[in-house]
Structure 1
């Protein structure tokens, strides 16, 4: 790896992103004055992406992970997303927690109506193509 490539990798934010799907709906979360997003967040220096995915889903929605499936890696301009699909034990107990002000289940077809980032839209569309 060249020095320039190494610097680019070091400058990237590393994020774990979680798709939680149930009965043809996907769980989206929203912080105050923000767009709808998938649950997830920063991978801390001392953790692996899978651990961050589990932690972030619980911190943001109160859901407890039963299993995680690694789906893809997505690199945007300044972020590297590690994307997981989660199965959870308490699916009916999703609620906004911590900095999350709202969490809602949206039907697969509702994506185009939601105010989301391009990265979120890309991740969800990629997930839906697998089905």
Structure 2
């Protein structure tokens, strides 16, 4: 399986989705190169696809899809930040988590947003599920970010 860095950007109560031309919506991210760590890949991909650079990455969990292992990182962004579609990305869109599930999107994106509580408000924040590994990850060397700390809105159930 290939390894992918996936980034969940949170700004003003919304999640950033990106799409290539004539493609489904997805979370920003991409393949982790041999010479970089998952967090380096997450930062690089976010900058390449959206021009967002220099923001703190919080490791959340590893999600195993059908073909890829997703190292999922969370990024809190100030309200004034604007994402710009670049390189292979044709569209950027900020969406409330509850509305994300209604859009055409990749299966891993739907599952990752669901794990964060986007589709099921009663779900625990860093849930141990079949496909998610929230404990300390040997590949990144970091602990699971407490989603309630990174996304205080999630802990209050206001997604």
Fold match, TM over 0.5? yes
**1:51 matched to 2:51:** no
1:20 aligns with: 9
Q: Distance in 1 between matches of 2:37 and 2:94?
A: 27
TM-score (norm 1): 0.85
Aligned 8 A contact 2:6 2:27 in 1: yes
Shift of residue 113, structure 1, vs aligned partner: 1.3
**1:31 matched to 2:55:** no
Q: 1:106 to 1:80 in 2, by over 3 A?
A: same
- Residue by residue over 1:29-73, the C-alpha shift from the partner in whole angstroms, topping out at 9 and shown as x without a partner, is 000121100000000010000000000001000011321111010
Aligned 8 A contact 1:65 1:89 in 2: no
1:5 aligns with: none
Aligned 8 A contact 1:39 1:60 in 2: yes
2:76 aligns with: 87
Q: Which runs of 5+ in 1 are unaligned?
A: 1-11
TM-score (norm 2): 0.71
Shift of residue 93, structure 1, vs aligned partner: 2.2
User: Which stretch of structure 1 is more off in the superposition, 81-90 or 106-115?
Assistant: 81-90
1:4 aligns with: none
Classify the secondary structure of the residue corresponding to 2:81. helix
Shift of residue 91, structure 1, vs aligned partner: 5.3
Aligned residue pairs, count: 120
Classify the secondary structure of the residue corresponding to 1:66. coil
| Root mean square deviation of aligned Cα | 1.5
Q: 1:58 to 1:29 in 2, by over 3 A?
A: same
